[in-house]
């Protein structure tokens, strides 16, 4: 007796498992006649039994969008399935199997709907030269199967999005799909999936006669569930991949590396490494670490983490470049941050860091890149009226042991990489600029990057800093000043040397410096009271003369850090200190002598106050409420400084904090570490702000 079965599941794994189950029943002789099986998968890419998943589809985008990867138990090419695809299978034994007869059922059905369809030599059905159906075939003992898909109202944008893989260095030995021009039946005639299904059922009855509904008993359901679990397994979906090679080439801190992995059944079977590193042993180390390891993120990461410093540095890059390692935006972002963390560089010396960031964006996104020397930016353009800029810094902190990422700038830069990945292929109604800035620690970076405003029309600029001690991912907002203005002031005094026994013959600046060390903090206190805000002058060092007891001091210096939440108070405090750059004494430093030391004042690491635009901040708060982002307002400004304040001179600007965990060590301390997962969470916040502001 002929039968028809219509699946009510949208799970691609279960639907293909059901197909396999029915075929197996015919092989065992448990079923007879012809079975026509219909199913509709919800957002899945189906690849053939012998295909290479890494070559046929863009797994990164699929993971981002929740699209299933399903491997058939039969051959054929890669196809995208959604609710606009009607999938069919003719399953029978070798005596009743007739490819031409089964194809005729489909052709008669679509022709009855008004489509002038025909079969071509590639097992495809076409209309006007464009493909609307393709078939694959199964043979298992005496059982035979023919299954295919009918494009009725499929999302063609997604079809192209997922079946056009990102450029990968894969020399695949699997069978590549034949790319064809395709068309939806609904483009040719006004028709729905249900109408096409009914037309095929009627054509099937005309061709094969009476039929009944196929019903599975409990034992059959249990067997289908077992096959479904097999369909979902890594061993089937990935482990069944034919042999292929994965290659990468990049420059690391230790030198150039070319790495080639040979893979079979999704496992590394061979490793070849070529490097100009001065130290020996890296190729042998990588071969020992990676041979026999699954080609997936967790396994590769675990293997490389067991190696030395060079292997750990490679780990981040490999994970950020190989889409086949179960990549998601989160894992890709975190892997990139790990790489950035291993290459800390001081202000205006961030050459490798900048190269890595630009290479990442060039290889993984279609954003426009603009190299501006020490800094660069990337642009997501939609031709929209409004352009939002997001800024991240990428320099490291100087320590006694050299440059180290003890402020989280590696995470800040990674958060913009996450935002770039989230923007890829999206339309949000905004143009978005990602500004990558060097030299924040010295305050020299932002003035350079203000050249952006000569190149682009920017409607708003947003920046963020991780804040230890606050709940992970919570936004910290502040009206008015977010971070204080500050600078370092060096006050030098030059007198005249003399023998310590005849001080009257020289000019000793020691008393002047001592008085000044008291006067500047006192002036800061006065300004704090006048402006009603935090204003500080902190003496960080002072020196006069040398340890030579026969010679009076003739030169000296005072080093003081000036800081205020009020731009006005800060400017007055700086002016007060500058007033000493003259040869005539001030009242505070007056002595009996009319002759004064020559005094000079030089400022270092000048940071303007970071003052938030009130209207923009209100809009950010509204987005937080709408998107249910956790946030709170800070009552007082942060005492540390940020050069982000320069951007507010050119466009409405807002700077926010993002909590990095209540147990996180303070910034710039030995125990500080940027937490895993925060970069992608910050990128998600940026994406929501970009979409709504």
112 and 197 share a domain?
yes
Q: Is 603 part of any domain?
A: no
Mean pLDDT of 582-610: 71
Q: How many residues does the chain have?
A: 693
The answer to whether the beta carbons of residues 395 and 346 sit under 8 Å apart is yes
Report percent pLDDT > 90 for the chain.
Answer: 61
Burial class of 314 by CB neighbour count within 10 A (0 to 12, 13 to 18, 19+): buried
224 and 248 share a domain?
no
What CATH number is associated with residue 501? 3.30.70.360
pLDDT tens digits, one per residue of 54-90: 666 776 677 777 888 888 877 666 788 889 999 999 9
12 and 150 share a domain?
yes
Q: Is 604 part of any domain?
A: no
17 and 129 share a domain?
yes
291 and 205 share a domain?
no
395 and 524 share a domain?
no
306 and 374 share a domain?
no
Q: Is 652 part of any domain?
A: yes
Tokens of 109: 């059905």
Q: How far, in Å, CA of 221 to CA of 216, rounded?
A: 6
pLDDT tens digits, one per residue of 442-487: 999 999 999 999 999 999 999 999 999 999 999 999 999 999 999 9
Q: Is 338 part of any domain?
A: no
Of 237, 260, 291, the residue at which a domain comes to its end is: 237
Averaged confidence pLDDT in the chain: 87
With cut-offs at 50, 70 and 90, classify the pLDDT of residue 120: confident
The answer to whether the beta carbons of residues 52 and 174 sit under 8 Å apart is yes
What CATH number is associated with residue 281? 3.30.390.50
Of 172, 205, 237, the residue at which a domain comes to its end is: 237
592 and 637 share a domain?
no
160 and 301 share a domain?
no
In this predicted structure, the answer to whether residue 658 has a pLDDT above a threshold of 70 is yes
In this predicted structure, the answer to whether residue 33 has a pLDDT above a threshold of 90 is yes
Q: What is the DSSP letter of 70?
A: E
pLDDT tens digits, one per residue of 319-331: 554 433 434 577 6
With cut-offs at 50, 70 and 90, classify the pLDDT of residue 297: low
With cut-offs at 50, 70 and 90, classify the pLDDT of residue 208: very high
Of 237, 259, 292, the residue at which a domain comes to its end is: 237
Q: Is 168 part of any domain?
A: yes
- Note down the domain range covering 286: 243-327
Neighbours of 124 (CB within 10 A): 19
Instruction: Enter the pTM of the model.
Output: 0.54
460 and 514 share a domain?
no
506 and 458 share a domain?
no
617 and 632 share a domain?
yes
User: Backbone phi, then psi, for 9, in 5-degree steps?
Assistant: -100, 145
Q: Is 339 part of any domain?
A: no
In 3D, which of 233, 235, 244 has the Cα closest to residue 54?
244
User: Backbone phi, then psi, for 306, in 5-degree steps?
Assistant: -80, -10
Tokens of 128: 């006007």
Maximum distance among all alpha carbons in the chain? 126
pLDDT tens digits, one per residue of 365-424: 889 999 999 999 999 999 999 999 999 999 999 998 889 999 999 999 999 999 998 998
Residue 421, helix vs strand vs coil: helix
- Tally of CA atoms within 13 A in the half-sphere of 618 that contains its CB: 2
In this predicted structure, the answer to whether residue 520 has a pLDDT above a threshold of 60 is yes
Residue 266: predicted pLDDT: 66
Our count of domains for the chain comes to 4
Residue 313: predicted pLDDT: 80
In this predicted structure, the answer to whether residue 660 has a pLDDT above a threshold of 90 is yes
Q: What is the DSSP letter of 503?
A: G
Cα separation values, 650 from 564, 611, 653, Å: 22, 13, 8
Residue 196: predicted pLDDT: 95
Q: Picking from 13-27, 149-163, 491-505, 634-648, which range would have the lowest pLDDT averaged per residue?
A: 149-163
Q: Is 341 part of any domain?
A: no
């Amino acid at each position: 007796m002929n039968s028809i079965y219509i699946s009510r599941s949208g799970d691609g794994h279960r639907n293909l498992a059901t197909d396999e189950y029915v075929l197996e029943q015919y092989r065992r002789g448990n079923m007879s006649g012809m079975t026509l099986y219909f199913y509709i998968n919800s957002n899945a890419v189906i690849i053939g039994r012998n295909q290479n998943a890494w070559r046929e589809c863009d797994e990164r985008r699929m993971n981002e969008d929740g699209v299933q990867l399903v491997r058939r138990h039969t051959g054929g090419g890669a196809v995208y399935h959604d609710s606009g695809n009607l999938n069919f299978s003719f399953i029978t034994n070798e005596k009743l199997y007739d490819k031409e007869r089964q194809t005729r059922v489909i052709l008669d059905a679509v022709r009855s709907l008004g489509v002038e369809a025909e079969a071509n030599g590639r097992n495809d059905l076409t209309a006007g030269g464009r493909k609307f159906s393709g078939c694959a075939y199964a043979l298992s003992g005496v059982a035979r199967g023919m299954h295919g898909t009918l494009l009725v109202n499929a999302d063609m944008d997604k079809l192209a999005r997922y079946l056009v893989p990102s450029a990968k260095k894969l020399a695949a030995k699997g069978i590549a799909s034949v790319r064809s021009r395709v068309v939806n039946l609904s483009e040719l005639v006004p028709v729905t999936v249900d109408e096409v299904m009914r037309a095929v059922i009627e054509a099937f009855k005309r061709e094969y006669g009476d039929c009944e509904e196929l019903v599975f008993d409990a034992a059959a359901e249990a067997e289908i569930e077992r096959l479904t679990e097999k369909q979902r397994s890594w061993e089937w979906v990935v482990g069944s991949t034919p042999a292929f090679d994965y290659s990468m080439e990049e420059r690391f801190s230790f030198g150039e590396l070319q790495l080639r992995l040979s893979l079979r059944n999704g496992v590394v079977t061979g490793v070849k490494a070529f490097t100009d590193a001065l130290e020996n042993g890296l190729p042998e180390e990588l071969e020992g670490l990676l041979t026999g390891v699954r080609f997936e993120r967790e396994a590769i990461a675990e293997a490389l983490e067991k190696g030395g410093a060079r292997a750990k540095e490679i780990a981040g890059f490999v994970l950020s470049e190989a889409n086949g390692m179960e990549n998601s935006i989160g894992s890709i972002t975190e892997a990139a941050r790990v790489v950035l963390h291993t290459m800390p560089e001081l202000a205006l010396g961030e050459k490798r860091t900048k190269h890595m960031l630009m290479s990442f964006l060039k290889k993984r996104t279609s954003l426009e890149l603009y190299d501006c020397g020490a800094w660069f930016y990337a642009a997501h353009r939609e031709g929209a009226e409004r352009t939002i800029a997001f800024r991240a810094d990428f320099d490291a902190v100087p320590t006694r042991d050299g440059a180290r990422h003890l402020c989280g700038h590696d995470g800040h830069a990674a958060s913009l990489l996450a935002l770039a990945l989230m923007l890829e292929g999206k339309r949000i109604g905004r143009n978005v600029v990602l500004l990558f800035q060097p030299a924040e620690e010295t305050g020299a970076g932002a003035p350079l990057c203000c050249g952006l405003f000569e190149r682009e029309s920017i409607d708003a600029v947003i920046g963020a800093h991780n804040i230890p001690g606050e709940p992970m991912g919570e936004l910290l907002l502040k009206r008015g000043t977010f971070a204080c203005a500050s600078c370092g002031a060096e006050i030098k005094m030059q007198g005249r040397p003399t023998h310590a026994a005849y001080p009257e013959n020289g000019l000793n600046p020691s008393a002047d410096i001592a008085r000044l060390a008291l006067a500047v903090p006192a002036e800061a206190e006065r300004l704090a009271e006048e402006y009603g805000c935090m204003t500080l002058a902190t003496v960080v060092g002072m020196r006069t003369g040398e340890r030579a007891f026969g010679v009076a001091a003739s030169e000296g210096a005072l080093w003081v850090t000036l800081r205020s939440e009020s731009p006005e108070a800060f400017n007055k405090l700086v002016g007060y200190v500058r007033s000493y750059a003259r040869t005539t004494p001030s009242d505070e430093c007056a002595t009996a002598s009319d002759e004064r030391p020559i005094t000079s004042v030089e400022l270092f690491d000048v940071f303007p106050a970071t003052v938030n635009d009130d209207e923009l901040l209100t809009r950010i708060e509204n987005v937080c409420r709408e998107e249910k982002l956790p946030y709170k307002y800070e009552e007082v400004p942060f005492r540390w400084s940020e050069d982000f304040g320069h951007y507010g001179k050119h466009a409405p600007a807002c700077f926010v904090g993002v909590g990095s965990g209540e147990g996180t060590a303070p910034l710039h301390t030995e125990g500080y570490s940027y937490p895993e997962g925060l970069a992608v969470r910050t990128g998600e916040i940026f994406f929501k702000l970009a979409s709504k502001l």
